[in-house]
A and B are shown apart, each in its own frame.
Chain A
């Protein structure tokens, strides 16, 4: 989608290794989110950010950390990957809109992570 890119698109990693996923935006939006998608669970929030160096936990944050040193980048790190973290990860952005009609979330294309 325009203005938001995720990298890598696919990754296979071994149990116990660290993994970092990147979300990059060109919209200068304040809010950024990381979700994971698993069958039957929809998308669940891992962490989110409301500004540079300002982050907070979502509902499934255990085993994950995030960092946001620049407005445009939001990194998700799995410190020691486990098989239960095999999932599709989506990043989303949302701006502070003065016009309610423009309120909304834009999602990246996702990263498919497999932990073996």
Chain B
């Protein structure tokens, strides 16, 4: 079984400021990790993923995340946000070689970028 906790349900941030979205997971097996973004009234778009290798993962739109196995975390960061980054962000985990490789999501973090 696996679970994901996104520690902040809402994050207000000023334009051009940095942002960090926190994600912790629990799993009895090795995991793959993902961050998705959802803009208002749209579907989910993959921002980045960790499958193996370097623990620092770079994604689209200037986002990056770091996998920390000892702390079971996968926090998402962006050094300077834009108004267009206003969206909801989801962290998700999939167990490696687990039955069905089901993707389990956190509750989401809503980011509001203020001018």
Contacts and interface: CB of A to CB of B under 8 A. Distances in A.
A33 B103 contact: yes
Contacts of B46: 104-105
Contacts of A35: 105
Contact of A105 (B9, B42, B52, B103): B103
A43 B102 contact: no
Interface string B38-71: 0000111010010110000000000000000000
Interface stretch (A13-21, A75-83, A107-115): A107-115
B108 interface: yes
A92 B103 contact: yes
B43 A100 contact: no
A90 interface: yes
Contacts of A42: 4, 6, 90, 105-108
B43 A90 contact: yes
Given A100-B51, A108-B43, A33 B102 contact: yes
A22 interface: no
Interface in A58-116: 58, 90, 92, 94, 100-101, 103-105, 107-110
A94 B42 CA distance: 20
B104 interface: yes
Contact of B44 (A48, A50, A107): A107
A58 B36 CA distance: 20
A58 B100 CA distance: 10
Contacts of A92: 103
A44 B51 CA distance: 22
Nearest to A108: B43
17 contacts: A31-B101, A40-B9, A42-B6, A43-B105, A44-B105, A45-B104, A48-B102, A56-B100, A90-B44, A92-B103, A103-B49, A103-B51, A104-B46, A104-B49, A105-B34, A107-B44, A109-B43
